[in-house]
Amino acid sequence: MTDPPSTPPPGSSPEDRQTPLQKADAGHQRLEEARMWNVVSYLITGPAMFGAIGWGLDRWLGTSWLVAVGIVGGMALSLYLVWFRYGTQ
């Protein structure tokens, strides 16, 4: 005869019922998700910040081309930062 499967104690959460391997895998998934959101934030913030700086310089200097330079430069720097931080691992 086999023993019946053990039941978790009342009031325990699903995380309490996970094996150590399942807990480690869940932590890895959270880490990957956090990295993904960091990459997205870099790719949005770089062009937005440098585009805003270019826009301010355009207003101050009376030019009309620094916004485009700021957006392209911000995207290039963002891509480089993502590659440097996450692409070399």
What is the token pair recorded at 4? 């019946």
Distance between CA atoms of residues 89 and 82, nearest Å = 11
pLDDT in tens, 13-34: 666 666 665 565 666 788 888 8
Indicate the DSSP class of residue 17: G
For residues 63 and 27, the model is more confident at 63
Torsion of CA 68, 70, 76, 82, to 10 degrees: -130
Q: What is the pLDDT of residue 46?
A: 96
What is the token pair recorded at 11? 């009031």
- Residues of the chain with pLDDT > 90, as a percent, come to 55
Q: How confident is the model at residue 5 (pLDDT cuts 50, 70, 90)?
A: low
pLDDT in tens, 37-56: 999 999 999 999 999 999 99
